[in-house]
Amino acid sequence: MTKKIIKKYIKNEKVIKKKISINQNQKKIVKKDTHRKNIHNLLKKINSRTDSKRVIVVHGWSGDINKGWFPWLKKTLEKQGFSVIMERMPDADQPKIDIWTEHLKNISGNIDEQTYFIGHSIGCQTIIRMLEKHQSEKVGGAVFLAGWFNLKEDTYKEDPKYEMKTRNIAAPWINTRIDFTKVQSKFSPGTVTAIFSDDDPYVDLNNAEAFKQKLDARILIENGKGHFSEEEVDSIPILVEEILRISKSLNK
């Protein structure tokens, strides 16, 4: 995996440096577009190229892609030949469905069977809800980590000062209906995995059954990994193993 620094993106006679992850097949696009007025147009054009395998990673509520297992995941997937898109979601401390799903749609560009998703916690719902609305056909697959459709009551009472705020943020994600028939139509059989921990303080294991029933997900239960938070875990090999398994199954 190669990293390109766009050195000649000029706006109002200022040079803006922007680092993005690209692979060898995308170099020509960057050379042709370094002078575009809007850097997001360039990103969108790069992301729309689906002649190579891509993994789009969505962090959770208040997540930080610069900490914990996120840098490890990006580096490991790139070594396996994947292009990785991993961005900080807007207003991460107060995630909103419309804002997060629209942002994910924008950074994903065109998606197809060369596109894979990894979501953590509320990032799983973000992927699911984006795919529900997206006009794509099939995607390559998804690995959901500590995903949820409901939360343990203790989640809200962890810090009494913020109980109502936490409830108000979570409520739309819990109560807004999802058309799972549409979502499941985007996946080929055997291309969805949902991973949970047996001691997650926020996510009850009844969510595992929901992922199995609603998305026909392969369920894996890890031992003692909590919520797989950045502060708790610095690598999650099973994420990479599942992405590799899914991508190989599609190429048989």
CB 205 within 8 A of CB 221: yes
The amino acid present at 186, given as its one-letter code, is K
Q: Is the pLDDT of residue 167 over 90?
A: yes
The span from the CA of 231 to the CA of 1, in Å, is 27
Could you count the other beta carbons within 10 Å of the beta carbon of residue 156? 17
Which structure tokens are listed for 187? 């996946």
Which pLDDT score, from 0 to 100, does residue 137 have? 81
Q: Which segments within 63-114 are labelled E, that is strand?
A: 83-86
Q: What's the mean pLDDT in 46-60?
A: 77
**pLDDT tens per residue across span 64-99:** 999 999 999 999 999 999 999 999 999 999 999 999
∠ CA 70-158-204, rounded to 5° = 65
What angle do helix axes 97-108 and 39-48 make, rounded to 10 degrees? 70
Q: Is the pLDDT of residue 22 over 70?
A: no
What pTM value is reported for the model? 0.80
Q: Is the pLDDT of residue 10 over 90?
A: no
Which pLDDT score, from 0 to 100, does residue 31 have? 45
